Amino acid sequence: MSKPLILVLGDQLSLDQAALRDAPANAVIALCEVTEEGRYVPHHPQKIALIFAAMRHLAQQLRDKGRQVHYSALEDDDNCQDLLDEAERLTTLYDCDEIRVLHPGEWRLLARMKTRKANWTIIEDDRFFCRLEDFAAWIEGRKQPRMENFYRYMRRSTGLLMEDGEPAGGQWNFDHDNRQPIDRNLEVPDLPRHRHDDTTRQVLALVENHFGEHFGSLKGFNWPVTRRQALADLRHFIEHALPDFGRYQDAISDTEPYLFHARLSAAMNIGLLDPREVCEAAEATYYQGNAPINAVEGFIRQILGWREYVRGIYWHKMPGYKRENHLHAKRNLPAFYWTGDTDLRCLKRALEMTRDNAYAHHIQRLMVTGNFALLCGVKPEALCDWYLAVYADAFEWVELPNTLGMVLHADGGLMGSKPYCASGKYIDRMSDHCSQCRYDVKQVTGKNACPFNSLYWHFLEEHAEHLEKNHRMKLIYGSLKRMNDDKRAAMRDQAQSFLKSLAWEPAYGQGDHLDGYRRARDSERKSVD
Ligand code: FAD
Ligand code: DLZ
Ligand code: SF4
């Protein structure tokens, strides 16, 4: 009789995921903590702790259910410290004849599994609304695929927020109601605090010991590490934040990292919550009259629309997608992305929140750190590795299309019909940062001018060839053309001397980020001493 080893990866932590659901009674279930996965980019210590703590709790739950579990702990002497090697070692140890694993969330792992000599079986991951083959069929033959069209297809096929074949509230999209800027007197709900049990405390000490030098603080660790804790976060969001989610979805605060966002992406991505239950809970809140349609539709669109769309794009376009660089961006990452040591207030706060929480909300990622990197011409591989490292919810299937596609426009327009580039004016409108910044957001040139302004016009000039024919960019290129040559030259000089003044991460390559981070951190420490 066949005896499988079921490998459960660190982002597949649901008791009812397909590989576990169909596991025969004699199966050995393996969860493996390995150094290689913690270091291939220098993951934020909170991200590693979240994954290890959730893995250890799931292993215990499986044992409680009478399952045979092998848990490879990071400090075990015989641990190979590589996921695939470790799984194959355990297959021999337990005399198994097959390794079953749910389809991994990153191409690099899938590609390696497919070339191994051992008997690997990849099982379809059904924790999503849209099967990959259905996405492939949807996108087939579409010259200009758009998320909005995919989203309507998904609304129809799931029936979420649909009434007799029509969208609830009479519209597909209520985004025009969702653009309220920050209001300083806004009362924001607190997050639930999760108790650290012995398992979580041991993991926090282990991670501090092995990965403590990575960018990011472990101090405020408050991620849900069990399904029960994740459900408490979901209930809390639905009750306290969802009603205002829409209105303040695009707002940015100098002090509040979460505003009315869900902070549920990490729990969904590692398998503690199912996106279906999250969307259904939001939909029920609308029908109970406890949250308005603009909030509920906006929230469901992020999950049913964007989250499913980016996954479809990733698997449809990989492996070539990772090499795309439509705008020929060439620069390394600004070194301060690893320290937060910058005078640009909006960037400083987004980076500090990232360091403290392994979280920044979407508009911080897109319009602050992302927009700045786009305007500076940071190359995709450098920026993508940073985003993959620093956020607790980051796995390549979701990180790459957002960074390479949505932020850097490096896929030529699959993720957005135009680049999300903006000057300081946008940040000033949506946030309360600028009044606390040493730069003046109203100035474009001069020593106090907000760097986003000259960088913005410089970016438009540099990429006119690619962008000026885009009908959504016509107005802005019209403004650029109407400027006189002296003004344009002054803006160009301002942007170029700002770019020259920045320190950049050293040469890019495997492992160099950590090295770059170490150097940036050490020089910062010296200047403090
Ligand atoms: P909310 O704002 O409350 O949104 C609700 C849910 O919608 C999220 O939990 C998430 O599951 C989903 N969602 C919203 N926007 C997106 C999106 N653009 N793509 C996919 N799902 C979305 N999200 C990740 O889960 N992992 C990543 O690695 C990641 N990297 C990103 C990198 C960049 C450069 C950008 C611009 C966005 C990235 N996102 C990523 C999308 C988004 O920023 C996060 O999902 C969101 O900030 C998570 O916080 P939240 O749960 O409070 O989300
Ligand atoms: C991100 C991560 C880390 C830090 N560590 C582990 C680990 O030790 N074991 C594991 O199974 N998974 C880990 N992961 C997640 C993987 O790197 C990878 O992103 C997913 O397994 C892809 O599905
Ligand atoms: Fe950011 Fe410019 Fe505003 Fe400063 S003035 S916070 S750099 S947008």
pLDDT tops 60 at residue 522:
no
The closest-lying atom of ligand 3 relative to the alpha carbon of residue 427 is 8
Q: Is the CB of 106 under 6 A from ligand 2?
A: yes
210 lines ligand 2 (CB under 6 A): no
Length of the chain: 529
Closest CA to 94 of 3, 207, 161, 214: 3
Q: In this structure, which ligand is nearest to the CA of 45?
A: 2
Q: Measured between alpha carbons, how far is 72 from 8 in angstroms, rounded to an integer?
A: 11
**pLDDT value of residue 164:** 96
Pocket test for ligand 3, best of 182, 252, 255, 346 (most atoms within 8 A of CB): 346
Report d(CA 510, CA 366) in Å as an integer. Answer: 25
Q: Which ligand is the nearest neighbour of the Cα of 346?
A: 3
Q: Looking at ligand 3, which residue's alpha carbon is closest to its atom 3?
A: 434
Closest ligand to C-alpha of residue 398 is 1
Atom 2 of ligand 3, nearest CA residue: 450
Give me Rg for the CA atoms of the chain.
24
Pocket test for ligand 3, best of 425, 439, 442, 447 (most atoms within 8 A of CB): 439
Contacts of 27 (CB under 8 A, 6+ apart): 3, 4, 5, 6, 67, 68, 100
CB 36 within 8 A of CB 511: no
For tokens 């990733």, name the residue.
314
Task: Report which bound ligand comes closest to the CA of 104.
Answer: 2
- Which tokens go with 19? 């590989």
434: nearest Cα among 455, 449, 447: 449
Structure confidence at residue 184 (pLDDT): 84
Nearest CA to ligand 1 atom 13: 302
Pick from 391, 458, 128, 471: nearest CA to 271: 128
Q: What letter represents residue 70's amino acid?
A: H
Residue found by looking up tokens 């001397």 in the block: 497
Distances (CA, A) of 387 to 33, 153, 221, 360: 22, 29, 19, 11
The pLDDT > 70 percentage for the chain reads 96
Report the C-alpha gap between 424 and 453 in whole angstroms.
6
What is the pLDDT at residue 513?
A: 56
Categorise residue 506: left if φ over 0, alpha if ψ from -120 to 50, beta otherwise: beta
How confident is the model over 364-381, as pLDDT tens digits? 999 999 999 999 999 999
Paired with 29 in beta bridges are 6, 69
Per-residue confidence band for 528, with pLDDT thresholds at 50, 70 and 90: very low
DSSP 23: -
Query: For ligand 1, what atom is nearest to the CA of residue 395?
Result: 28
User: Cα–Cα distance between 147 and 415 in angstroms, integer?
Assistant: 7
28-32 and 4-7 as β-strands: parallel, antiparallel, unpaired? parallel
User: Could you tell me the sign of the dihedral formed by the alpha carbons of 102, 104, 105, 111, in that order?
Assistant: negative
Pocket test for ligand 3, best of 182, 342, 452, 501 (most atoms within 8 A of CB): 452
Q: What is the pLDDT of residue 161?
A: 98
339/513: higher pLDDT: 339
Instruction: Copy the structure tokens of residue 101.
Output: 């694993």
- Per the prediction, the chain carries an average pLDDT of 95
Closest residue CA from atom 44 of ligand 1: 362
CA of 437, closest atom in ligand 3? 4
How high is the pLDDT of residue 518?
56
**Range 136-143 average pLDDT:** 95
| pLDDT attached to residue 277 | 98
For residue 425, the Cα-to-chain-centroid distance in whole angstroms is 25
Higher pLDDT, 228 or 524: 228
pLDDT at 177: 85
Ligand 1: residue whose CA is nearest its atom 2: 261
**Nearest alpha carbon, ligand 3 atom 5:** 441
Provide the pairing of β-strand 98-102 with 68-72.
unpaired
What atom of ligand 2 comes closest to residue 104's alpha carbon?
A: 23
pLDDT of residue 59 exceeding 60 = yes
**Closest C-alpha to ligand 3, atom 8:** 424
8-state DSSP, 133 = H
Q: How many CB atoms lie within 10 A of CB 150?
A: 22
| pLDDT for res 507 | 55
Q: Which of 471, 325, 465 is nearest to 408 (CA)?
A: 325
**Residue from 34, 36, 37, 399 whose mutation best tests the ligand 2 pocket (most atoms within 8 A of CB):** 37
* Position 525 confidence tier, pLDDT thresholds 50, 70, 90: very low
The pLDDT-based confidence of 156 (bands split at 50, 70, 90) is very high
User: Which bound ligand lies closest to the C-alpha atom of 367?
Assistant: 1
CA 126 to each of CA 102, 308, 347: distance values in angstroms, whole numbers, following the listed order: 9, 12, 37
Compute the average pLDDT of residues 460-478.
Answer: 95
Q: Which ligand is nearest to the CA of 266?
A: 1
As a whole number of angstroms, the distance between CA 249 and CA 268 comes to 19
pLDDT score for 1: 78
SS3 per-residue string spanning 184-253: CCCCCCCCCCCCCCHHHHHHHHHHHHHHCCCCCCCCCCCCCCCHHHHHHHHHHHHHHHHHHHCCCCCCEC
Residue 511 has pLDDT above 50, yes or no: no
Q: Measuring CA to CA, which residue among 338, 387, 268 is closest to residue 516?
A: 338
Pocket of ligand 1 (CB under 6 A): 261-265, 268-269, 299, 302-303, 306-307, 310, 361-362, 365-366, 370, 387, 391, 393-394, 398-399, 402-403, 406-407
Distance 265 CA to ligand 1 centre (A): 6
Query: What does the alpha-carbon distance between residue 263 and residue 85 come to, in Å, rounded to a whole number?
Result: 34
**Mean pLDDT (whole number) for 150-168:** 98
367 C-alpha vs ligand 3 centroid, how far in Å? 12
Residue 278 identity (one-letter amino acid): V
Calpha distance 424→426 (Å, rounded): 5
The string of pLDDT tens digits covering residues 29-55 is 999 999 999 999 999 999 999 999 999
Q: What is the pLDDT of residues 271-297, one digit of tens each?
A: 999 999 999 999 999 999 999 999 999
